[in-house]
């Protein structure tokens, strides 16, 4: 097998693994997140980062948004990972930073999905929504989708922290509240500086 074929095979294999894990997070999030937390595959992480970068690139090209938002995403992502690593260590848990990176990467799936759906809907049905029958119906559907993805995101974040930090449910909830205590002001600061309205995390 020559090097090009080998590379292509590797890329296809990684994409299949990522898609398999993504579908697993829909049907059995607990089992799949546990598996992700135990096996660190940097190729899958790179693939997910490329997917996120493609989102920022396409939004940048279509809507003229700054590609620098990707840098802010990276800052938020690694700040989150470091926060859970340090706080887990402070409470004497055996935290694995690689496990945190992998699980947080996979918990980005609902985020990418929501942002992509919103961008497509922005083109198809540009806001503001009216109070006509169709405007209200679209608002209902859009809010419904947003709530479903938010609940799924919260579940994946909970599982990511629980499996990476190996904390109890109460401790995981406590760590998530602590995280919210600095992340919400950070999000508000990003909003004030017109960087992002909804945090990409």
Rule CB under 8 A: which residues touch another protein? Answer: 26-31, 34, 59, 115, 118-119, 121-122, 126-131, 135-136, 138-148, 151-152, 155, 162-163, 166, 168-170, 197-198
Closer CB to another protein, residue 11 or residue 154?
154
Least distance to another protein from the beta carbon of 54, Å? 14
Per-residue DSSP letter, 198: S
Closer CB to another protein, residue 44 or residue 172?
172
Largest Cα–Cα distance of the chain, in whole Å?
61
Closer CB to another protein, residue 27 or residue 193?
27
- Rounded to whole angstroms, the Cα distance separating 157 from 89 reads 18
Least distance to another protein from the beta carbon of 185, Å? 18
CB 34 within 8 A of CB 160: no
Least distance to another protein from the beta carbon of 135, Å? 6
Question: How crowded is residue 113: how many other Cβ atoms within 10 Å of its Cβ?
Answer: 16
Least distance to another protein from the beta carbon of 38, Å? 8
With 0-12 CB in 10 A as exposed, 13-18 as middle and 19+ as buried, what is 9?
exposed
């Amino acid at each position: 097998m020559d090097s090009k074929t080998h590379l292509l095979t590797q890329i296809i294999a990684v994409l299949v693994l990522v898609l398999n894990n993504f579908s697993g997070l829909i049907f059995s999030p607990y089992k799949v997140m546990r598996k992700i937390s135990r096996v660190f595959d940097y190729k899958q992480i790179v693939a997910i980062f490329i997917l996120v970068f493609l989102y920022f690139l396409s939004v940048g090209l279509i809507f003229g948004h700054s590609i620098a938002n990707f840098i802010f995403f990276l800052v938020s992502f690694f700040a989150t990972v470091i926060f859970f690593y340090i706080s887990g260590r402070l409470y004497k848990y055996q935290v694995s930073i690689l496990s945190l990176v992998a699980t947080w990467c996979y918990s980005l799936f609902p985020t990418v999905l929501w942002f992509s759906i919103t961008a497509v809907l922005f083109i198809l049905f540009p806001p503001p929504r009216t109070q006509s029958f169709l405007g209200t119906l679209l608002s209902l559907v859009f809010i419904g989708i947003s709530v479903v993805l938010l609940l799924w995101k919260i579940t994946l974040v909970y599982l990511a922290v629980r499996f990476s930090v190996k904390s109890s449910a109460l401790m995981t909830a406590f760590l998530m509240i602590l995280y919210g205590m600095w992340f919400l002001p950070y999000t508000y600061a990003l909003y004030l500086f017109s960087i992002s309205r909804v945090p990409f995390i």
